[in-house]
Amino acid sequence: DDWNNREYIELVTGCMRKIATFLNEFDSSCRYRLAVLKQKLESLENKINYIEARVDGSPTTPAT
């Protein structure tokens, strides 16, 4: 009976390790993907700001 308990505990411990490993890898993957997405959004925001500045800015030909 003690041997069965040890096997069960070892099985549960192994499953918990697999779950923890999966969650850690999932966390790393999500953080990486969010960082990439953040860079893309910042790049788009910079482009939008540039375009808005060009549209709202002074005309290219001076007024007389």
Q: Rounded CA gap, 18 and 35, in Å?
A: 26
Q: What does the pLDDT read at residue 16?
A: 99
H/E/C letters for each residue in the chain? Answer: CHHHHHHHHHHHHHHHHHHHHHHHHHHHHHHHHHHHHHHHHHHHHHHHHHHHHHHHCCCCCCCC
Provide the residue-wise pLDDT of the chain in tens; the chain has 64 residues. Answer: 899 999 999 999 999 999 999 999 999 999 999 999 999 999 999 999 999 999 998 665 555 5
**pTM more than 0.75:** no
